[in-house]
Chains A and B, each alone.
Chain A
Amino acid sequence: MPEVSQTAAASRTARRSDRDRWWRRMRRDWWIYLFLLPTIVGYGLYTVYPLVASWWYSFLDWPGFAQRGTFIGLENYERLISDELFWNAFTNSFIFLLIGLPLRVGLGLVLAYLLSRKAVKFRTGFRTLFFLPVVTTGAIIGMVYTLVLDSTGPVNRILTGVGILDQPIDFLGDPDTSLFAAIGVWVWKWVGITMIYWLAALQTIPQELYEAAQLDGANAWQEFRRITLPMLVPFLIIITLIDAVAAFNVFDLIQTMTAGGPTFSSEVIEIFIYRTAFETTVPQLGYASAAAVLFGLAAAVIAVVQGLGAAAARKRMVRS
């Protein structure tokens, strides 16, 4: 039947012209892919591949980069779940997050709020000095703090001299205090950047709102409570997310201050991974990868929860 063959021919030409169009588009756009090439290759090799490969590695018994791994199924995960040191590191990472994160976000907000008020003197000078630790090298700062917080170091001498302490405390060398001392140093180092985030957030609040509040006779606390805080909620979520990710990247400070010790009291997940993968005579790369996968999952869960929180907050803002 002529009709059928006609439609067949039409669809064939349509397909051909589709392919033609695709080819024409590629011929026109080839340079775009050339521009993207460094990013595609680099990102593929150094970000996407590790993301996928870590899962595969976590099923291997793999005693070193020079050797090939053997597939052992879920054995690494079974071992991890019953490994006390893994849970110790996992718990420490979360203690770090639960204490360090609110301290950093809260203190950053207080500093930013004070330094955004016109009444306070030397605001730019203060800002510069609080920001200074942010630009410094974490690993170097960690080693400097081993001296500063040493039982014969200046902090202990000041505290015993003033009479706050009867006896010097070896902050980083005592298993009861090492993790908390590390958290303190982390907050000291990074609060300046959180402060700048908050300053940027504070500047988005229209000045008229404050003027109107002053007209109504509101005091400083009421202004903060009724205007500043509600306007900052969406930023709170973003800033908390950025800082939470940062709280999982503390290898440099902790490795140089305590290396996870004494007796694993300050060992966070990253130290656990580094120790099992690189610092032993027989590297356990598969085992370390399994720990890394669980760690990455935990980080992803936090990111997703925060993302949902951000979306919810935005929706509420739009409605009100």
Chain B
Amino acid sequence: MSLSEPTVRQRPTAAPDTAPPRPRRRPIARRRVTTWLLTAGLTVMCLIWVYPFAWLISASLKTPLELFGKGLNLVPDEPQWENYVRAWTDGGFSTYMVNSIIVTVGSVALVILRSALAGYVLGRFDFVGRKLIIGIMVVTFFLPEGYTIIAVTQITDSMGLLNTHLGMILGLGAGGHVPALLLYAAYFRSLPKELEESAKVDGAGHFRTFFRIMLPLSMPVTATVGLLQFLTAWNAFLLPLVFTLSQPDLRPLAVGMVGFVSQNYTDHTGMAAAAVISLTPLVIVFILLQRHFVNAVAGAVKQ
């Protein structure tokens, strides 16, 4: 596994014509000691950071007796795969997984389409009301979720979408997401003007120009926005919790876990297995797309 450096545009450095004089160096032996001390310190910290995950995986493969009776050995005597079977079938995590996938895919698609469409016109065209839209978005940028949840629930209820997948998809994808929109706007603004002109010459309308030329060109932004929304939707808790209070079989993984724990309070090994099931898709996507993660996150600061 490796996490590459976030790509941040460096200020242009003038190529030195003459080699600069060698900087005075600290004694090599002392430098080496500091290096290893730092590395050792970081290793200890890293172990603290990773330990809960290691413990979780180990707990998910142990018997309850092993988990509490024996010492801190992380390797189980014999892997107890039935913990996973219990969580997956009896615990209902197969259903929760399907719900999580539906809600996540739906809201990712919604956010990408909506932000790309709006970002395209906001980034490339001047029109009546443009400043107003940007102004409203800047003002509402920092709204905490705890503030909006009651009104969002009320509006979803009045549309009859409480306790539905669609309600959750809209709740997670229809509002907010100003950063996604700004990312698209900035990217589309940087593309050359000739693109539309040549498309027009070829007889393409606005919609064809957008879907055939612009959207495919914006793949790097789409990857970033999609990834961030995947995390947001998969990890969402408050909104799906409130939206499925009376409909347990619509719950995504994070909310399903709450129900599982309250019903199987003593089943710690099954709970650990359920947690591993819920986190595995995230970790797989993270390992596959690490570089995008870092760039997506680093982009937030640069803005």
- A interface residue numbers (CB < 8 A to B): 22, 25-26, 29, 31-33, 35-36, 38-43, 45-51, 53-54, 57, 65, 111, 114-115, 117, 119-122, 124-133, 135-141, 143-145, 147-148, 152, 154, 157-158, 161, 188, 193, 196-197, 199-201, 203-204, 206-208, 211, 214-215, 217, 219, 235, 238-239, 242, 245, 248-249, 251-252, 255-256, 269-270, 273-274, 277-278, 285, 288-289, 292-293, 295-296, 299-300, 303
The answer to whether B148 and A140 have CB atoms under 8 Å apart is: no
Pick from B1, B21, B301: contact of A200, CB below 8 A. Answer: B301
Pick from B142, B258, B283: contact of A135, CB below 8 A. Answer: B283
The answer to whether B149 and A144 have CB atoms under 8 Å apart is: no
Q: With A147-B59, A235-B301 in contact, is A137–B144 under 8 Å at CB? A: no
Q: In the complex, what residues of B have CB within 8 A of residue A50's CB?
A: 143, 147-148, 150-152, 155, 175
Residue-wise, chain B 149-170 has the 8 Å CB interface mask toward A (1 for contact) of: 1111111010000000000001
Q: Does B238 contact A (CB under 8 A)?
A: yes
| Chain B interface extent, by class | 35 or more
Q: Does B217 contact A (CB under 8 A)?
A: no
Does more than half of chain B's interface fall in helix, strand or loop, or is it mixed?
A: helix
Q: With A35-B118, A144-B52, A148-B55 in contact, is A124–B3 under 8 Å at CB? A: yes
The answer to whether A54 and B6 have CB atoms under 8 Å apart is: no
Does more than half of chain A's interface fall in helix, strand or loop, or is it mixed?
A: helix
B32-40, B76-84, B189-197: which one contacts chain A? B32-40
Q: In the complex, what residues of A have CB within 8 A of residue B254's CB?
A: 137-140, 252
Most buried by A among B121, B146, B149, B173: B146
The answer to whether B72 and A245 have CB atoms under 8 Å apart is: no
Q: In the complex, what residues of B have CB within 8 A of residue A296's CB?
A: 143-144, 147
The answer to whether B155 and A46 have CB atoms under 8 Å apart is: yes
Pick from B55, B133, B253, B293: contact of A140, CB below 8 A. Answer: B253
Residue-wise, chain B 1-39 has the 8 Å CB interface mask toward A (1 for contact) of: 111111010110100000011011010000100110011
The answer to whether A273 and B146 have CB atoms under 8 Å apart is: yes
**Which residue of B is nearest A191, CB measured?**
B49
Most buried by A among B42, B115, B210: B42
- Known: A135-B282, A145-B52, A154-B72; 8 extra A-B contacts, CB below 8 A, are A43-B137, A45-B174, A51-B143, A124-B4, A139-B257, A255-B238, A292-B147, A296-B143
Q: With A45-B175, A147-B59 in contact, is A269–B146 under 8 Å at CB? A: yes
- B interface residue numbers (CB < 8 A to A): 1-6, 8, 10-11, 13, 20-21, 23-24, 26, 31, 34-35, 38-39, 42, 46, 49-53, 55-56, 59, 68, 71-72, 113-115, 117-118, 120-122, 125, 127-128, 133, 136-137, 140, 142-155, 157, 170-171, 173-176, 181, 206-207, 210, 231, 234-235, 237-238, 242, 245, 253-255, 257-258, 261, 268, 271-272, 275, 278-279, 282-283, 285-286, 290, 293-294, 297-298, 300-302
Q: In the complex, what residues of A have CB within 8 A of residue B298's CB?
A: 196-197, 199-200
The answer to whether B148 and A54 have CB atoms under 8 Å apart is: yes
The answer to whether A65 and B175 have CB atoms under 8 Å apart is: no
Interchain CA distance A145-B51 in the complex, whole Å: 11
Interchain CA distance A295-B150 in the complex, whole Å: 13
Q: With A292-B147, A295-B146 in contact, is A154–B153 under 8 Å at CB? A: no
Interchain CA distance A79-B116 in the complex, whole Å: 45
14 contacts between A and B (CB under 8 A): A39-B117, A53-B154, A65-B157, A120-B35, A138-B235, A138-B237, A144-B272, A154-B55, A251-B145, A251-B146, A252-B238, A269-B146, A270-B145, A274-B242
